Amino acid sequence: MQRAQLADAVRYDDNGLIPAIIVSTKDDAVLMLGYMNDEAIQKTLETNTVTFWSRSKGRLWMKGESSGNTLELESIHVDCDQDALLVRVRANGPTCHTGNRSCFFTEVEG
């Protein structure tokens, strides 16, 4: 699929969002889950820096806009149902706002 076709090829939810699973190209670690709308996808493709739609802020949000810990786009993959994205990135610093490399650092035990 060509980059220009991506935004039209995906199935957004009722809020115009699609989940984006962020994975490190360095070691395939899952770093975070974010949501993208059409504008966030277009901005990501234009800048090669991953941008999300922040549900809490109600606006576009570029990961690292205040911390500098940006996510450089390597590739985007659409799942078989076209309702989720796998975004492979080069992370420039920790991904989680807590300072952890990944947002998935809490293991559920038992």
Residue 79 marked as a ligand binder: yes
**CA dist., res. 89 & res. 50, Å (int):** 8
**How would you class 103 by CB atoms within 10 Å of its CB: exposed for 0-12, middle for 13-18, buried for 19 or more?**
middle
**CA dist., res. 78 & res. 31, Å (int):** 18
Indicate the residue type of 71.
Answer: L
Residue 14 marked as a ligand binder: no
Residue 80 marked as a ligand binder: yes
Annotated binding site for Mg(2+): 79, 81, 83
Annotated binding site: 79-81, 83, 96, 103
Annotated binding site for Zn(2+): 80, 96, 103
